[in-house]
Amino acid sequence: MSDPIAQLIFLIIKAILVPVLIVMMVAFIIFFERKFAGFFQGRVGPTYLGPWGSFQSFGDIFKLLSKEDLIPAKSDKPVFRLAPYIIFLPAFLVMAVLPFGPVGGEANLFGYRFDYVIANFDAGLVLFLALGAIAVYGVVLAGWSSNGNFSLLGGLRAGAQMISYELAMGFSVVGVMLMANSMSLVDIVEGQAGNFWDWYFIPQVVGGLIFFVATLAELNRTPFDLAEAEQELVAGYLTEYSGMRWGIFMFAEYVNLVVISGIVSTLYFGGWRAPLEVLDFIPGPIWLFIKICVFVFIYMWVRWTIFRYRYNQLMSMGWKVLLPLSILNLVVTAIVVSVAG
Amino acid sequence: MSEARPTLEELKRRKALSRQRVERSGEVMTVSMGPQHPSMHGVYRAELDLDGEVIVAVRPEIGNLHRGVEKLCEERTYHQIIPITDRLDYLASFVMNHGYCEAVEKLMGVEVPPRGRYIRTLAAELCRIANHIMWLGIHIMDLGTQTFFCICFRDREYILDLLEMLTGARLTHSFGRIGGVAKDLPDGFDRRCRKVIDFLPRRVAEYERIVKHNRIYYKRAKGVGIFTSEDCFAWRVTGPPLRSAGVARDLRRDEPYAAYDEMDFEVAVEYNADVYDRFLVRMKEIRESCKIVRQCLDNLPDGPFVASDAVHALPLKKNVLRDSAAMIQDFYQVFQGPLAPKGEVYRAIEAPKGEMGVYIRSEGGAHPARIHFATPSFYHGQAVPPLVEGEMISDMVAIFASVDVVLGDCDR
């Protein structure tokens, strides 16, 4: 078997395995979200289905599948049907550029080279930002096509929120790009080789924090969950959705949660690399899994702790605080990188 | 307090800032908020005219929970009305009993024995604490965090346990009686109540640590929903919203009833008239209520807890089957009811949500000719349009929660 054919087989295996594993992970993350929410609130969370209630997500899926699919009579039906997938697809596509182990080098599997990334894409970071921006269309179109007031308000809020945060997010990751001298996520992880003090979160602490805040907005989670603010807009852009269509939105949200946790750990926390070089014997995917779990937990923690911002406060924070800070961070990084290296 | 007290003009100027947005507004979108909206606290419905996120006009609609309480009362004897009053403000139902009983006692000239007055004070203050804790949880949940709601409900449970021990019910106590209360303090109540009252101020400090100094809460609540003392008088807004506007009016101190004239407590006052100060006022009130409950327990007088007035009050239940006079009194009270003289009375008490007035017109006989409950939620609900116009839709839920409206109390 020649190398290109082996690579093709590997690619197919990876392209099936990675999404399937992440989907399995998501099922349990939804369960853990509910369980942790219970613990934060002095409750026990789900307990009935399966050991320790751990099959709750599967119960939810069956419930959603068996529910009637309601589509409002006056909605824009093709767009209404399309919107969930516009959110769903980008969340999955980002997985392609996320490295979960070493890439390149010698043959490591049955005499062939196995790259621990689906697509070693030169502009992986740009792809991530672009796909994040596409997902917003899903939210806006869902809100608009539902033909409901609360949905429309939710969709518009999401649109405005994304515009104000994507910029700060984009500028904050440019700092990482400059330090790694590459836009490929594989190279960014290579740039963080060594121990945990070589990771980018130390030189890029400001950029990292801005990126983290912006991902909260990107994920529509609590301080910035304006688009589906339950207490104000009932469920925002999701108000008119029911059954599995609603389920797809929720599912995409959690896939996004995993993927963005992966991106945060890749950009600032060494990706699949072990925190200390002596721990390198543990394979990369496991380290990445641990890091993703840690960040998912942090996102949950934030969600169940913090209040929600008001719409105009969020906008002014995005434009007046995060954007100038991220530009400053970029300028300082550029000067330091060009002087030092 | 390092912050300077704002003058009335300053508050009006701040309020006018948000009103400007109404005048600048263009095309509006009409949104129906409620009655099954998650943060409309029951079945309040508001039709909002929105320009983007700014609320231009509000048309409130109440009455979805109307049960004809006042009409029901006309068909019943004065004793039978007490359980109905429970269903007014069901979050502080003893206080509703209390207000009604005070009015009836004024009408009939019944004297409540000291122990009865103390137990009433104690139960009313426990209700006030439970109500304020519940208010806090819901208010914070309307601002987007659900965890705090659960913390508040956990702490409210301690108070509900005490009230259950005292009255036998968690929600609708029906504990007030004409001339006193239904039962004496049960065994072990004193110790358990002191335990709760001792740790509750620490819990309040914890709430303040979580909420008061929270940056997001400060931004969301400070300067939002300003309602000056003038507005409060014009719209008959009372209770914590009035006290947060710098008016130290508290009927417990100004027109003492029950045992409040023998209690040492302060009236909580703040000056900025916004959502934030309403939170501060309520937190202070929980502390003061704890003080009052402790004083009640310390100074609880001996003697009967219900008036031995055979014409107007029910006899003690344990005597009914042993004492023929008590049995006759019971028969007379239950089947005919106490007879009231001709006349009309108005009696107002300080309910947790504001001033709760009871008006009774009697034409003699066992039934009131007309009874009216001037409940605080009704007036607070009608003040929603001037409160929220010009604010944003996110503030609407915060402001609506901050004036504390319960729809059972509002619609009656």
Domain limits, chain A: 63-340
Q: What is the CB neighbour count within 10 angstroms for residue A316?
A: 13
Dihedral sign for Cα atoms in the order B146, B206, B132, B195: positive
Mean local confidence (pLDDT), B109-113: 87
A209 has a chain B CB within 8 A of its CB: no
Q: Residues with Cβ < 8 Å from A148, sequence gap 6 or more? A: A72, A239, A240
B80 and B171 assigned to the same domain = yes
CB contact under 8 A, A304 and B150: no
Mean pLDDT score, B123-152: 88
Residues of chain A neighbouring B156 (CB-CB closer than 8 A): none
SS3 A149: helix
- CB nearest B397 (choices: A232, A311, A312): A232
> H helices within A181-277, ranges in order?
185-191, 205-218, 230-233, 243-268
Mean pLDDT of B299-304: 87
Mean pLDDT for chain B?
86
Q: Mark whether B266 and B290 lie in a shared domain.
A: yes
| Same domain flag for B54 and B81 | no
pLDDT digits (tens, 9 = 90+) for B31-88: 888 788 777 777 888 888 888 788 888 888 888 888 888 888 888 888 888 998 888 8
Band of pLDDT at residue A161, cut at 50, 70 and 90: confident
Res A107: pLDDT? 65
Find all residues with CB under 8 Å of B396, minimum gap 6, and list them.
A232, B33, B46, B48, B55, B388
Cα separation values, A250 from A28, A220, B140, B372, Å:
13, 11, 25, 50
Same domain, B55 and B88: no
Instruction: Answer whether residue B387 is part of any domain.
Output: yes
Q: What mean pLDDT is predicted for residues B260-287?
A: 88
Mean pLDDT of B280-309: 88
**What is the CATH number for B323?**
1.10.645.10
Q: Tell me the pLDDT tens digit for each residue of B146-187.
A: 888 888 888 889 999 999 998 888 888 888 888 888 888 888
Domain co-membership, B194 together with B318: yes
- How far is the C-alpha of B320 from the C-alpha of B324, rounded, in Å? 7
Residue B254 lies in a domain: yes
User: pLDDT for B62-78, tens place per residue?
Assistant: 888 888 888 888 888 88
B317 vs A331, B310, B325, CA distance in Å? Answer: 83, 13, 12
With tokens 């033909």, the residue in question is A147
Residue B3 domain-assigned?
no
Kindly state whether residues B75 and B52 are assigned to the same domain: no
Residue A230 touches chain B, beta carbons under 8 Å: yes
Render pLDDT for B199-213 as a digit per residue (tens, 0 to 9).
888 888 888 888 888
B37/B96 same-domain check:
no
Half-sphere exposure of B257 (CA within 13 A, CB side): 22
B286 and B306 co-located in one domain = yes
Q: Do B47 and B120 fall within a single domain?
A: no
Residue B407, SS3 per DSSP: helix
Inform me whether the C-beta atom of residue A41 falls under 8 Å from chain B C-beta atoms: yes
| Mean pLDDT (chain A, rounded) | 83
pLDDT (tens digit per residue) in B344-369: 999 899 889 888 889 999 888 888 88
Instruction: Report the pLDDT value the prediction gives residue A105, as an integer from 0 to 100.
Output: 67
Give the pLDDT confidence of B213-241 residue by residue, as tens digits. Answer: 888 888 888 888 888 888 888 888 888 98
Interface check for A33 against chain B (CB to CB < 8 A): the answer is no
pLDDT band at A152 (very low <50, low <70, confident <90, very high): confident
Q: Are residues B369 and B330 in the same domain?
A: yes
Interface list for B 235-294 with A (CB within 8 A): none
Number of Cβ within 10 Å of residue A77's Cβ equals 12
Would you say residue A133 has pLDDT above 70? yes
The pTM score is 0.85
Q: Taking CB atoms and an 8 Å limit, are A41 and B396 in contact across chains?
A: no
Interface of A with B in 75-134 (CB under 8 A): none
Helix or strand or coil: residue A189?
helix
**Please, which residues bridge with residue B340 across strands?**
B365
- Asked whether the beta carbons of residue A225 and residue B216 sit closer than 8 angstroms, the reply is no
Q: Is A38 on the interface with B (CB under 8 A)?
A: no
SS3 A337: helix
Residues on chain A touching B212 (C-beta within 8 angstroms): none
Q: Is the pLDDT of residue B2 over 60?
A: no
Pick the residue from chain A with its C-alpha nearest to B47: A149
pLDDT at B1: 45
Is residue B362 in some structural domain? yes
Q: Which residues contact B52 (CB under 8 A, 6 or more apart)?
A: none
Amino acid at A10: F
Q: What DSSP line would sit under A60-99, residue for residue?
A: HHHHHHHS-----TTS-HHHHHHHHHHHHHHHHHGGGG--
φ and ψ at residue B370, rounded to 5 degrees: -155, 140
Question: Same domain, yes or no, for B49 and B76?
Answer: no
Percent of chain A with pLDDT over 90: 0
**In contact, A95 and A22? CB cutoff 8 Å:** yes
Helix axes A323-340, A149-180, angle to 10 degrees: 10
Domain membership of residue B205 (yes or no) is yes
The answer to whether A125 and A169 have CB atoms below 8 angstroms apart is no
Is the interface score ipTM higher than 0.85?
no
The amino acid at residue A220 is: N
Q: Which of B34, B61, B88 is the last residue of a domain?
A: B61
Amino acid symbol at B378 = F
In a domain, B184, yes or no: yes
3 state DSSP class of A183: coil
Residue A178 has pLDDT above 70, yes or no: yes
pLDDT at position B359 is 92
Q: Tell me if A311 and B392 make a contact (CB, 8 A cut-off).
A: yes
Instruction: List beta partners, residue B365.
Output: B340
Predicted pLDDT at B4: 67
Q: At residue B14, does pLDDT exceed 80?
A: no
- Kindly tell me if the per-residue pLDDT of A84 is higher than 60: yes
What is the count of structural domains for chain B?
2
What number of helices (H) and strands (E) belong to chain B? 18, 8
Mean pLDDT of A141-169: 85
Segments forming the whole domain that contains residue B82: 69-411
pLDDT > 70? residue A1: no
Cα B343 to Cα A56, B356, B359, B360, B365: the distances in Å are 64, 20, 11, 8, 11
State the average pLDDT over residues A5-34. Answer: 84
Q: Percentage of chain B surpassing pLDDT 70?
A: 98
Q: Are B56 and B73 in the same domain?
A: no
**Nearest-neighbour CA in chain A from B184: distance (Å):** 34
pLDDT: is B207 or A4 the higher one?
B207
Of B61, B82, B99, the residue that ends a domain is: B61
User: For residue A67, is pLDDT > 70?
Assistant: yes
| % pLDDT > 90, chain B | 7
Tell me what the mean pLDDT of segment A75-87 comes to: 86
Examine residue B2 and state whether it is found in any structural domain, yes or no: no
